[in-house]
């Protein structure tokens, strides 16, 4: 013997309100959806039928509680359909036999009416089928405890369906006329049938009067611009920089992209307001645009894309891919046209959204060629566009690493060298691509070693004079995996410059971690670094133009010289923002004490 | 120029890093924040800076940097447990072990000892050993498949708790296991909720979609494979540097289905990320797929290729023209020397075998041209 599952309606309602629907207001969406689908079904048999949806709110309804009537003049239901559709969970009246019929409808899951139980303990449906002249008027009364009754009414009402909800205690806020208007407008503002709202006996007002701008025709460009920007302001409560009408044949998408008036964070999700067949499905839909296009926020209606069950994104299929590409092309065309027609405006846009534009330029050569000179880069002489840089400098010199850039830019200015920081997202890729797109412009990758090579060498005499000092300093620094060199560079006030590659930084971080780690981890770290950058060496470049260094190079007192070299090393490390390891810290402590001691002993301080 | 640093400077770096995706720039900013925080000396800042760095480095393609920062954090947890979020430190232990075997210089004994250390720490803190067993499965597979399988089952029989991976990650792990066992049909069946979008997290479905490409080809379900390629590659392109290994799987799929134009575009795109990796296992995966692509092109009579390869790439040619067979041989030689290092460490032949397995993919060749190549190119990668 087979048995049937017993379903507890209360449990299901709880599930719906707590898990499936994000908010009780969804009931308005579900009612609108049922209404529109019923009208569509009626238009299949009576193509000339003019659909309409009417909502009436009674603030003091039955039993003193507010109530709401939601009425459509759609296909209506007969008795058999009532049993089948209103009282069977998971059954929907919207599965037509023809596939073309099926895709018209918005709803799919057959649980729409149930969502009303989230705000109401009793649902009364009065309906009359339009399929036959003699169809009776039927009243269905469903209760949250899972029971329902059916009654034939004597009045012959107009065909259609009228749903009456009696407010459940605690849900009053969802029955306030202002709230109902807002919700109806929120979900249904694009619906092609008039939706009217009546309250307190006042005249009915239209909820969805204005079609969206992409459904309007305009007298001129200003008229269009105003309509689009007004719509954007109303939709997102934001004053946008600009708008781009969107249209894609694939996915049957229409809408508008709005250029954000601020620079968005790369890490936040980029979401859009999406209507499906003119019914709002999501205000946070993802994945509609190519990844680079994060400078806009869109509102679109799609007739031919499939939302996921959560309705927060679309099924990633070929169609979505093609739609995304088409929308991306619209945005690209907008930028290209802006570059051609309104360069001033483009500059403003770039100052906000250069990251988006850089992201596209990385992969799109033609676009790159057009835009690269407009794009801003950080240089050692401040921020400038690549075009400005190229006008001032023949060679494109860039540093691909953030830390190296910081080290280099401290001295670059004094060497009359301006380098570009390519450590930021996309910048290294963009600059290395420059040679491919514009082969005539020389490009140089600069690192601190190469920078040091550009420092002035000592004359042969000077080299001879400083040779002992270099040898001695090198010996002092060797235990710290650092080599000593002497050159002349500006600024003269800088006695020494610490140069380290990213490999050295890594090795230093490993040493620092080993100092605090237990045997197991210390061993692991040792092996890790040994296999990677065992030979990483930093260098300390002394400045022969600096008076202190010049004096040191002639000092004979080895104890004092050792202390001085060590202190210069520690100071250069700190100047380049490198924390000291245990060994270096003790250098600092011992060195300071040593120098103090020496100063106290030698009366008069520094000896010539 | 100042030798000191302020907490504001450190927080400013956090803020700059916050708005970026996990990758080189973010890692560089956070490394700087670690250095500055150390100069400041404020414990909370020093710890937070490393916490951010561990995350960015783990998912941004620099697990060696995550390991270094993590070992410092773990030592602090031992030294001053009351000042550190225990759950957080122990959770990240999984990230570290997940990539530890990618470095052949770490010995097998060290890996085993770390697994024991993790288990002991979880037990002391009162957490389930489920993640430890599942981790053992992933690591043991390199030297003892039977033992790995035993841990896989043991892990799934052990109760979940708040240290367990999310449902999507665990399911993805089951999918990989089924593929390893050679049961493609079961792998695809297990992946259903991931494919349908009902199970996801920050790493899933990216890796799962890539894992399923070849199984679907073997099952003859090519349209589904193409769909997962489309969806999955988009996610890979987004997190380029941290997804080199995943990109390799897409590459192999494109070669097997003879979509060579697209394969070459992807090969060029990710080589700049793959070549400088310290993570030798990811580099191996990418070089192996690259070799397979080039060898297959050479076999089809493509003698030279115009390629835009990064200047830092060891086999870079100024003129941009490459002999297909020579370049293929270069990649194979690199793979063989990496495989030798891994196999010596693992005391097994699993890496040498994976070279043979990729070579054998040739037999799987199933031409299936993907339409709308221009459309694909304009998708923004």
Choice among A427-436, B100-109, B124-133 with the minimum mean pLDDT: A427-436
pLDDT confidence band for A99 (50 / 70 / 90): very low
Distance separating the N- and C-terminal Cα atoms of chain B:
41
Compare all CA atoms of chain A with the CA of B65 and give the residue at the minimum distance.
A506
Q: What is the pLDDT of residue B282?
A: 97
Per-residue pLDDT tens digits for A561-595: 999 999 999 999 988 888 888 889 888 888 888 88
Q: Assess whether pLDDT exceeds 60 at residue A109.
A: no
Distance of CA A122 to the CA centre of its chain: 43
Q: Assess whether pLDDT exceeds 70 at residue A198.
A: yes
Residues A103-132 have a mean pLDDT of 75
Distance from A432 to chain B by nearest Cα, in Å?
8
**SS3 labels along A258-300:** EECCCCCCCCCCCCEEEEECCEEEEEEEECCCCCCCCCEEEEE
Q: What are phi and psi of A361, to 5 degrees?
A: -65, -30
The H-assigned helical ranges of A237-385 are 318-341, 343-363, 365-371
What class, spelled out in words, does domain A375-452 have in CATH?
A: alpha beta
- The neighbouring-strand residues paired with A163 are A70, A125
A457-501+536-601 belongs to CATH 3.40.50.2300: no
- Highest-pLDDT range among A47-51, A496-500, B354-358: B354-358
Q: Assess whether pLDDT exceeds 80 at residue A111.
A: no
Per-residue pLDDT tens digits for B240-295: 788 999 999 999 999 999 999 999 999 998 998 999 999 999 999 999 999 999 99
**Does the distance separating the beta carbons of B78 and A401 come in below 8 Å?**
no
**Is the peptide bond preceding residue A491 cis, with omega within 30 degrees of 0?**
yes
Q: What are phi and psi of A305, to 5 degrees?
A: -120, 155
Q: What is the pLDDT of residue A284?
A: 83
Q: What is the pLDDT of residue A113?
A: 77
pLDDT confidence band for B25 (50 / 70 / 90): confident
**Does the distance separating the beta carbons of B234 and A509 come in below 8 Å?**
no
Q: What is the pLDDT of residue A517?
A: 94
Backbone CA torsion sign across A341, A344, A347, A351 = negative
**Separation CA B239–CA B273 (nearest Å):** 11
pLDDT confidence band for A208 (50 / 70 / 90): confident
Q: Which residues of A touch B4 (CB under 8 A)?
A: 574
Residues B129-136 have a mean pLDDT of 97
Residues A127-156 have a mean pLDDT of 88
pLDDT confidence band for A469 (50 / 70 / 90): very high
Q: Shortest CA distance to A549 belongs to which of A459, A465, A450, A456?
A: A465
Q: What is the pLDDT of residue A134?
A: 87
pLDDT confidence band for A121 (50 / 70 / 90): confident
Task: Kindly state whether A571 is in contact with chain B, defined as any CB-CB distance less than 8 angstroms.
Answer: yes
Distance from B344 to chain A by nearest Cα, in Å?
14
Per-residue pLDDT tens digits for B92-119: 999 999 999 999 999 999 999 999 999 9
Task: Return the domain boundaries, chain A.
Answer: 9-206, 213-346, 375-452, 457-501+536-601
Compare all CA atoms of chain A with the CA of B33 and give the residue at the minimum distance.
A577
Per-residue pLDDT tens digits for A366-385: 899 999 999 999 999 999 99
Name the more confident of A259 and A283: A259
**Is the peptide bond preceding residue A235 cis, with omega within 30 degrees of 0?**
no
Q: What is the pLDDT of residue A97?
A: 39
Per-residue pLDDT tens digits for A157-184: 899 999 999 998 888 889 999 999 999 9
Fold of A9-206: Heat Shock Protein 90 (3.30.565)
Helix (H) or strand (E) holding B305: strand B304-306
Query: Vertex B56, ends B335 and B198: CA angle to 5°?
Result: 90
Task: Return the domain boundaries, chain B.
Answer: 1-82, 85-162, 166-235, 239-381
Residues A49-57 have a mean pLDDT of 94
Per-residue pLDDT tens digits for B314-327: 999 888 899 999 99
Task: Kindly state whether A493 is in contact with chain B, defined as any CB-CB distance less than 8 angstroms.
Answer: no
What class, spelled out in words, does domain B239-381 have in CATH?
A: mainly alpha
Compare all CA atoms of chain A with the CA of B102 and give the residue at the minimum distance.
A528
Q: What is the pLDDT of residue A282?
A: 84
What three-state secondary structure class fits B177? helix
Express as a percent the part of chain A with pLDDT over 70. 92
Q: Assess whether pLDDT exceeds 70 at residue A16.
A: no
Per-residue pLDDT tens digits for B28-65: 999 999 999 999 999 999 999 999 999 999 999 999 99
Q: What is the pLDDT of residue A312?
A: 65
Residues A488-493 have a mean pLDDT of 87
Average pLDDT over chain B reads 92
Q: What is the pLDDT of residue A509?
A: 92
The H-assigned helical ranges of chain B are 7-18, 24-40, 43-59, 63-79, 86-100, 108-124, 130-140, 145-157, 167-180, 184-195, 206-218, 222-238, 244-256, 260-274, 280-299, 324-346, 350-360, 373-377
pLDDT confidence band for A311 (50 / 70 / 90): low
Residues A6-28, buried b or exposed e (16+ Cβ, 10 A)?
Answer: eeebeebbeebbeeebeebbbbb
Residues B153-173 have a mean pLDDT of 93
From the candidate CATH numbers 1.20.1260, 3.40.50, 1.25.40, 2.30.30, the one assigned to the domain spanning B166-235:
1.25.40
Distance from A221 to chain B by nearest Cα, in Å?
29
Q: What are phi and psi of A473, to 5 degrees?
A: -65, -40
Q: Which residues of B touch A423 (CB under 8 A)?
A: 24-25, 28
Q: What ipTM does the predicted assembly reach?
A: 0.91
Q: Assess whether pLDDT exceeds 90 at residue A603.
A: no
pLDDT confidence band for A608 (50 / 70 / 90): very low
User: For B206, what's the count of Cα atoms within 13 Å in the CB-facing half-sphere?
Assistant: 18
Distance from B244 to chain A by nearest Cα, in Å?
17
**Separation CA A196–CA B316 (nearest Å):** 69
* Window A:145-204, CB contacts with B under 8 Å: none
Distances (CA, A) of A267 to A291, B18, B99: 12, 7, 24
Express as a percent the part of chain A with pLDDT over 90. 46
Name the more confident of B365 and A305: B365
Q: What is the pLDDT of residue B342?
A: 98
Distance from B97 to chain A by nearest Cα, in Å?
12
**Domain pair B166-235 / B239-381, same fold:** yes
Number of Cβ atoms within 10 Å of the Cβ of A545: 18
Per-residue pLDDT tens digits for A496-544: 999 888 888 899 999 999 999 999 999 999 999 987 877 788 999 999 9
Asked if residue B324 lies in contact with residue B297, where contact means CB atoms within 8 angstroms, the answer is yes
Fold of A213-346: Ribosomal Protein S5; domain 2 (3.30.230)
* Window A:223-282, CB contacts with B under 8 Å: 265-268
**Separation CA A137–CA B151 (nearest Å):** 66
Distance of CA A115 to the CA centre of its chain: 32
Q: What is the pLDDT of residue B352?
A: 97
Distances (CA, A) of B182 to A45, A402, B101, B175: 55, 46, 23, 11
What is the per-residue DSSP string for A75-143?
A: ----HHHIIIIISSTT--TT--SSHHHHTT-S--SS-TGGGGGGTEEEEEEEEE-SS-TTPPEEEEEEE
**Does the distance separating the beta carbons of A577 and B32 come in below 8 Å?**
yes
Choice among A113-122, A495-504, B138-147 with the minimum mean pLDDT: A113-122
Q: Region of A251 please: left (phi>0), alpha (psi -120 to 50) or beta.
A: left
**SS3 labels along A26-65:** HHHHHHHHHHHHHHHHHHHHCCCCCCCEEEEEECCCHHHC
Q: Assess whether pLDDT exceeds 70 at residue B381.
A: no
**Does the distance separating the beta carbons of B65 and A509 come in below 8 Å?**
yes
Compare all CA atoms of chain A with the CA of B117 and give the residue at the minimum distance.
A520
Q: Assess whether pLDDT exceeds 90 at residue A357.
A: yes
């Amino acid at each position: 013997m087979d048995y049937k599952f017993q379903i507890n309606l209360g449990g299901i309602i709880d599930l719906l309100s707590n898990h499936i629907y994000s908010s009780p207001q969804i009931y308005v969406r579900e009612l609108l959806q049922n209404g529109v689908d019923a009208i569509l079904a009626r238009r299949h048999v009576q193509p000339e039928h003019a659909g309409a949806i009417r909502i009436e709110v009674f603030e003091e309804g039955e039993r003193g509680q507010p109530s709401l009537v939601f009425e459509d003049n759609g296909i209506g239901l007969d008795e058999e359909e009532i049993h089948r559709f209103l009282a069977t969970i998971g059954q929907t009246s919207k599965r037509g036999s023809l596939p073309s019929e099926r895709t018209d409808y918005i709803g799919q899951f057959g649980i729409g009416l149930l969502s009303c139980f989230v705000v109401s303990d009793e649902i009364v449906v009065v309906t009359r089928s339009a399929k036959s002249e003699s169809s009776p008027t039927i009243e269905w009364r469903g209760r949250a405890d899972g029971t329902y009754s059916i009654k034939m009414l004597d009045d012959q009402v107009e065909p259609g369906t009228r749903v009456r909800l009696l407010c459940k205690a605690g849900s009053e806020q969802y029955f306030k006329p202002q709230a109902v208007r807002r919700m109806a407008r929120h979900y249904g503002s694009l619906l092609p049938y008039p939706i009217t709202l009546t309250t307190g006996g006042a005249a009915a007002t239209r909820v969805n009067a204005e079609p969206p701008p992409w459904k309007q025709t305009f007298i001129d460009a200003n008229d269009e611009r105003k309509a689009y920007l007004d719509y954007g302001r109303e939709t997102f409560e934001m004053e946008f920089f600009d708008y781009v009408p969107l249209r894609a044949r694939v996915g049957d998408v229409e809408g508008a992209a709005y250029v954000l008036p601020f620079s968005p964070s790369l890490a936040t999700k980029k979401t859009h307001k999406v209507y499906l067949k003119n019914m709002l499905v999501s205000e946070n839909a993802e994945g509609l645009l190519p990844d680079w296009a994060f400078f806009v926020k869109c509102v679109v209606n799609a007739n031919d894309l499939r939302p996921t069950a959560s309705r927060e994104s679309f099924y990633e299929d070929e169609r979505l891919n093609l739609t995304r590409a088409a929308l991306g092309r619209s945005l690209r065309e907008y930028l290209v046209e802006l570059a051609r027609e309104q360069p001033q405006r483009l500059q403003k846009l770039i100052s906000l959204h250069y990251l988006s534009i850089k992201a596209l330029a990385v992969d799109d050569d033609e676009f790159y060629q057009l835009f690269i000179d407009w794009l801003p880069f950080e240089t050692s002489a401040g921020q400038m566009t690549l075009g400005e840089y190229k006008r001032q400098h023949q060679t494109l010199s860039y540093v691909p690493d953030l830390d190296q850039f910081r080290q280099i830019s401290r001295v670059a200015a004094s060497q009359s060298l301006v380098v570009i920081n390519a450590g930021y997202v996309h910048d290294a890729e963009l600059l290395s691509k420059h040679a491919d797109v514009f082969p005539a412009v020389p490009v140089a990758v600069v690192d601190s070693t190469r920078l040091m090579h550009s420092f002035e060498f000592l004359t042969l005499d000077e080299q001879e004079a400083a040779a002992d000092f270099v040898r001695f300093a090198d010996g002092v620094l060797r235990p710290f995996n650092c080599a000593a060199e002497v050159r002349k560079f500006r600024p003269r006030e800088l006695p020494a410059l610490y140069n380290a590659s990213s490999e050295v930084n890594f090795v230093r971080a490993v040493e620092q971690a080993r100092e605090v780690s237990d045997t197991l981890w210390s061993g692991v770290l040792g092996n890790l670094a040994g296999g990677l950058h065992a030979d990483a060496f930093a260098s300390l470049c002394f400045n022969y133009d600096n008076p202190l260094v010049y004096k040191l190079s002639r000092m004979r007192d080895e104890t004092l010289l050792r202390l001085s070299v060590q202190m210069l090393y520690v100071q250069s490390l700190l100047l380049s923002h490198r924390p000291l390891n245990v060994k270096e810290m003790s250098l600092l402590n011992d060195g300071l004490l040593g120098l103090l001691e020496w100063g106290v002993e030698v009366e008069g301080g520094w000896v010539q | 120029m100042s030798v000191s640093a302020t907490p504001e400077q450190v927080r400013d770096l956090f803020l700059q890093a916050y708005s970026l995706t996990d990758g080189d720039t973010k890692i560089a900013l956070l490394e700087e924040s670690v250095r500055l925080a150390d100069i400041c000396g404020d414990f909370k800042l020093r710890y937070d800076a490393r916490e951010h760095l561990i995350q960015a480095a783990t998912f941004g393609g620099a697990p060696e940097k995550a390991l270094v920062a993590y070992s410092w954090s773990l030592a602090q947890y031992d030294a001053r447990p009351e000042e550190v979020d225990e759950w957080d430190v122990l959770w990240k232990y999984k990230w570290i072990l997940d990539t530890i075997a990618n470095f052949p210089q770490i010995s097998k004994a060290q890996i085993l000892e770390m697994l024991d250390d993790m288990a002991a720490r979880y037990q002391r803190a009162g957490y389930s050993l489920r993640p430890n067993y599942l981790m053992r499965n992933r690591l043991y597979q390199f030297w003892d498949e039977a033992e790995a399988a035993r841990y896989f089952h043991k892990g799934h029989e052990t109760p979940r708790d708040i240290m367990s991976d999310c449902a999507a990650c665990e399911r993805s792990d089951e999918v990989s296991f089924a593929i390893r066992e050679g049961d493609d049909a079961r792998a695809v069946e297990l992946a259903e909720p991931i494919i349908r979008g009902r199970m996801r997290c920050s790493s899933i479905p990216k890796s799962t979609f890539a894992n399923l490409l070849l199984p679907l080809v073997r099952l003859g379900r090519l349209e589904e494979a193409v769909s997962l390629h489309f969806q999955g590659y988009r996610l890979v392109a987004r997190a380029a540097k941290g997804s080199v290994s995943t990109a390799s799987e897409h590459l192999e799929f494109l070669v097997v289905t003879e979509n060579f134009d697209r394969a070459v575009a992807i090969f060029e795109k990710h080589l700049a990320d793959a070549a400088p990796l310290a993570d030798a296992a990811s580099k191996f995966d990418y070089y192996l797929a690259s070799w397979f692509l080039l060898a297959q092109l050479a076999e089809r009579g493509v003698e030279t290729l115009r390629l835009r390869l990064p200047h830092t790439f060891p086999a870079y040619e100024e003129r941009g023209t490459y002999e297909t067979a020579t370049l293929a041989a270069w990649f194979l030689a690199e793979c063989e020397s990496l495989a030798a290092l891994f196999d010596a460490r693992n005391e097994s032949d699993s890496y040498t075998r994976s070279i043979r397995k990729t070579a054998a993919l040739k037999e799987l060749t199933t031409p299936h041209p993907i339409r709308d190549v221009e459309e694909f190119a304009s998708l923004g990668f």
